[in-house]
Chains A and B, each alone.
Chain A
Amino acid sequence: MARSAPTEWTAPAPPGTPVNVAGPSVPLAPARSRRSRARRGVLFLLMVAVAAVMLYPFYFMITTSFHTEAQYQTGHGSSISSWTTLGQTVPIGQQLLNSTLICAASIAIILVVSISAGFAFSKLQFRGSQGVFLALVGAMMVPLQSILIPEYVNVSRLGLTNNYTGAILVYAALGTPFATFLMTTYFRGLPDELIEAAVVDGLSYPATLWRVALPLALPAIATVTVLQFVQIWDDLLVGLLFLQNPAERPITVGLAVLASGRTTSVPILMAGSLVSALPAMVVYLGFQRYLVRGLTLGVGK
């Protein structure tokens, strides 16, 4: 990310000002300095205002969750009742567990297939591998909604909507194209000689992947994991359709179903929302740089 702090531009010194090449920069004229300080102050306030807008939902969720439904309507008073009754209204523990399980399984599949395929496309090219790669990456442009009907028909005919399997496979298939693209790009960045050195050292190609390339791919693995985690954790459509058993609903789906009922108390919904948002937020803040790398991949330097 933006490691190098952006340097503020200082205008060229007026003519006649002695220029000290080696030493510190030319001191600014006092008037200019005052103006720039004012400018910085205004900028700072502007940024604070933007921050307020961006943080508003969190403010809303937190304050609302500490009301009862009645208090929410009037806007007065506070209570922790929505937190204490949250567990009774929603099977929140089970749903968190479901989300975790589905995320973990899908990501595991995505990682296994995208690492192998990425290594193959970048270092073990075979006849037609470029075409296969392009086709795979092209699948990125296909939104689930475009194939929603046949997908649903296929998965339910296979009887996979009655357990986690269907949703996990759909998530895995939807995440694979981008993950493969990312892995291929990453492995392309490794010098071919590294693989050849391992081969001369005596490794077979699968062993080279396992013992040399894989340990080097940890940053890419982190990027894929974090991106996919947030994507799957926050997804609604797949969970809504491909998990017919309410006991297997992940938390995002559970909340959406609750919300669409329009009878649930808003404070409880907000408490649930906060709980659901927390894991993804922690991941986001902790792994920001991997996310950014994934986001801007393909733009190059």
Chain B
Amino acid sequence: MAEITFDRVTKVYPDGTSAVSELSLDIADGEFVVLVGPSGCGKTTALRMVAGLEEISRGELRIGGRVANHMLPRGRDIAMVFQNYALYPQKSVYNNMAFALKIRNVPKDEIDRRVREAARILGLTQYLERKPKALSGGQRQRVAMGRAIVREPQAFLMDEPLSNLDAKLRVDMRAEIARIQRMLGATTIYVTHDQVEAMTMGDRVAVMRGGILQQVDAPERLYEQPANLFVASFIGSPAMNLVEASLEAESGRLHCRFGDSSLAVSDICRQARPEIEAYAGRRVVVGFRSEDITDATSAPEAGADRRLKAVIEVREALGSEILAHFSLGEERAGLALAGDVIEEQDGGASSPRSRRFVARLGPRAPVREGERAELVVDTDRLHFFDPESGLALGRSRT
């Protein structure tokens, strides 16, 4: 096993597309790192550079401490699981797994031992003689995993390995891959566009966008302390509510105002993010997660400076909770929801974002579609971002 280091790695394709820019990332021995980001952000390119399938334009890639920029794939001792599995259709499951070992002249009984061991781990023992065509999607996925496992490589690379599976199988395999990775203790880089996969699987998650690394952190930190607007909106489902507001100092208190609404920044929040003081009298983007909103009936003690007068537009009852999509009265048109900010930055390329706020309420919250409701925001947990740079204010809180 080995550690993998990207040192200001850049990839510019011959046609001028800059797919990965100045990527710096240290992956420790045995670590499971997930690269996540919207489609086209350069994840696959980054992975293929590690595999040796794509040349590195600038910067240095080190595998196990050795500079690997010009190493051939076979010299890197790395295994890759492809999105479409890339199984050899004419070979049986056994031979698919054994192939790489045969190429490397591993003794026959050693091959046999490793293939059977991998098949046992993956539950493929009774399918060893089948051809890939005769397997289900999930089984093929396992064979692709098995082909990587038997190699006992320095590192595993996986490019959206679950995206061709149906939803239920995806959830099962998610846990399965995480289990196997922990069991083998193998350094793994896992690429996905699905933030749920990223959050559930990775020791650390690296968020990319437009070829640029946005943030690398453990899943919880990514969620709690997004480094910028993009990460804030990308990680978490439903996405964080983001709205442009003016930060106003009034008799020693800080208020953020947007439309007719006003939220007071709590003292806890101010202590945790001293940077926001400098923004008094300026515009900021304020964010709050949907689960940090409750309906006023279950928080009667909350002051008026934490309340939002909402109009419930869509109510999604999920059983264990209610997702309430709401707007803030008549003033909607004047509000710049931060989704717009992000869309502008993406050149309008990303998917259309909800122009509403979302609250995650208790299953019996008294909200009805089309009616007004009073909602309470946990103002200890507000997030602030610079509207120009998009960077988070006061990320340093632990």
Contacts and interface: CB of A to CB of B under 8 A. Distances in A.
B100 A202 contact: yes
A193 B90 contact: no
B78 A202 contact: no
Interface string A230-271: 000000000000000000000000000000000000000000
Contacts of A196: 51, 53, 80, 82, 86
B168 interface: no
A215 interface: yes
Interface string A195-218: 011111111000100001001100
Nearest to A195: B86
Contact of B86 (A197, A202, A207): A197
A253 to B, nearest CB: 40
Interface in A147-193: 191, 193
Nearest to B85: A193
Contacts of B86: 191, 193-194, 196-197
B83 interface: yes
Contacts of A194: 86, 88
B397 interface: no
Interface residues of A, number: 15
A120 B336 CA distance: 54
Interface in B59-117: 73-74, 78-80, 82-84, 86, 88-90, 99-100, 103-104
A200 B80 CA distance: 7
Interface residues of B, number: 21
A199 B53 contact: yes
Contacts of A215: 90
A269 B45 CA distance: 67
Contact of A202 (B88, B103, B147): B103
Contact of A200 (B78, B83, B104): B78
Contacts, number: 49
Nearest to B82: A193
A201 B80 CA distance: 9
B288 to A, nearest CB: 43
Contacts of A202: 73-74, 100, 103-104
Nearest to B74: A202
Contacts of B74: 199-203
Contacts of A201: 74, 99-100, 103, 147, 151
Contacts of B84: 191, 193
A197 B103 contact: no
Contacts of A199: 53, 73-74
Interface in B37-56: 51-53
Contacts of A200: 51-53, 73-74, 78-80
A212 B78 contact: no
A202 B148 CA distance: 12
A202 B74 CA distance: 4
Contacts of B51: 196, 200
A136 to B, nearest CB: 24
A212 B103 contact: no
A212 B82 CA distance: 16
Contacts of B89: 216
A242 B312 CA distance: 88
A196 B151 CA distance: 16
Contacts of A203: 74, 103
Contacts of B151: 201
Nearest to A202: B74
Contacts of B52: 200
A197 B104 contact: no
Given A201-B100, A202-B73, 12 more contacts: A193-B83, A193-B84, A196-B53, A196-B80, A197-B86, A197-B88, A199-B74, A200-B53, A200-B79, A200-B80, A201-B99, A202-B74
